[in-house]
Structure 1
Amino acid sequence: MIQIDLIAGARPNFMKISPIIDAIKAASSDGKGITFRLIHTGQHYDKNMSGSFFEQLGIPEPDVNLGAGGGSQAEQTAAIMVGYEKLLLDTAKPDLCLVVGDVTSTMACAISAQKLHVKVAHVEAGIRSGDWSMPEEINRMVTDSITNYYFTTSEVANTNLKNSGVGEDRIFFVGNTMIDTLLKHRSRFQKPEIWDQLKLEKGKYLVMTLHRPANVDQEEKLKDLIQKIVDHTLDLPLVFPVHPRTKKMLQNIGISHDRLHMIDPLGYLEFNYLVEKAKAVVTDSGGITEETTVMGIPCMTLRDNTERPETITQGTNELLGTDPKAIPPAMEKLFSGSWKTGQVPHLWDGKTAGRIVNVLLEKLG
């Protein structure tokens, strides 16, 4: 029996891990000798940022919660490493530790696993922004330097790994598990309360998300960004689910506008209901650029770089940078009807998790 530890710690992880759970259960029901232990590191401990995702995506209750909580990058990394190491020492060690994405939990558990001679598989391996100021980039690089099996979302990621010396026999181009989740639940998207409260209509509002330090840690910069977006979105409502990190800054700025609607973070099904019907999305999130690409929604990314270039070269995303001056021409392009239509990248077909499990059965069986 192949035993796999599945690591989830923050909101993006849950979307990526859910289809893998489904695929392992399906393989087990089919008589294959594979099982899993779901480990929640506790990196995100706010219900809106994690708890509701378990309910909405049908993820079972975690077998273990390490309860890492908040703190600085170093404090959080240390708490997760200590917690996972203790778990591995106190219980039967798995055959594999499977980590997803690029959050602190991913790097921390990969390190603890390898030091205790547990193999590591990294789902969404090989993506790179080239920006070392982002904690996520450090997490990706460290994790990929100690991984055994690399599951990738694009040919660009494959090339990145090969250029860093990873052998082709350890790289598996399987697609995108986040899109597995999107396609599985798309028919279940739920109308959030804000829809009726604001009398929203399809294609007649924008969705905004901001949480990266480059955008939200400087009060004047954040205020200027939001003001530029408000000033150049005609008379359309702007729905802004506010990340806890951003909320603290907004309280100091005191910005308000009758078209700017700042709300608490939404559950997965409610948030994507809004995205699917929006005129466009303005964000600094990587994952949202993938979802908008599949749903065909124009996306403006307020970052100077991206680790998901396929959302630009093939999808509906455009990289604007972090200078507020880039917003007016982008909005003009959107409202003139000349935004690109884009296409769905290869293997983003809803079947990625099954391909991952098949590889694991072959390699570990």
Structure 2
Amino acid sequence: MVRKKLIKIAAAVVSAAILAAATPMSSFGVLTGAQVEAAAFDYHMVFDATFYAQAYPDVVAAIGTDAESLYQHYVNSGMLEGRQPSALFNAQIYMSNYEDLQAVYGNNIAAYVQHYILVGSAEGRVADHLLPGKSLVSFDALTATGVTPASTSVDLSAWNLVLVNHEHPISTAYAPEVTLCANGEYMHKDVTPIVKQMIADAKAQGINLYLVSGYRSSSRQTYLYNRKVNYYKRLGYSQADSEYLAATVVNPPGQSEHQTGLCMDITDAGYTSLTEDQENTAGYKWVLEHCAEYGFILRYPKGREDVTGIIYEPWHFRYVGVDAATEIMSRGITLEEYIAENSL
């Protein structure tokens, strides 16, 4: 049972902006986390290439009528420009119809599209015409939403030692430069080659590792956190208790290290479930023994839940640099304690 009092947070928040200027998805160089969000999410459910081509002849003149090219244009630039992907979905209309979503997603266009795909369509929400009594609202009239920051902001200049937790939230608008690492997952651009080397070294010793999760946008974190809150609510817990319990398992957006691109959920390739049983695998034992050599630490160790505020996670490893990792792992302390001791 987690003993540390967790900050009470709103049940639904998303990043202020998750899309950037057009970048061809076929060329994976250094991307911002915002661009990865577009590349990682499947928007085909709301996209109609024929409609898009007919609605936007300027796009056709620039890139032609290939369906996949049109889709990628929408994902990488058209969405942010407010272009409509099909006759059945209009993000501005969808936003204008539902004040409850406006309070959650603010001016984050992609978040509305994702909400409709993941939840709204199944709920029967309307996205192709204004409901009675509703008027069209401009995205510019809305403000970005996010977790209220702490009184002191996180110092991102010490990029490898940045502390992100319930008491030290990061701006939900923060998006690091990330590169493709393994299994379709992205990591901070400076950490990606280190993780690749770790996986290769393990394989050379007969250990197959699997990168389950790396960089995660605040929008994605919102979805995961809200899903966990709703899980506890279905079990009969109150809203406040559901938020408390959910935050011990899935960090709220703005409070997750995954947004920095510095941490990873990595498992034995033969057992990829994120459970405590992971500690019994050869993959975990290898990573635990060698992680400090690559600058990583076991971020949420067993028995330290009162310090980290998070349950034991034998799959979650965080990059802090070799020197810090060596001391943290050899002493069996947490990142919170290391930072406090060194007045960082």
**TM-score between the two structures when normalised by the length of structure 1:** 0.29
Query: Which has more strand, going by share of residues?
Result: 1
Larger radius of gyration: 2
**TM-score between the two structures when normalised by the length of structure 2:** 0.30
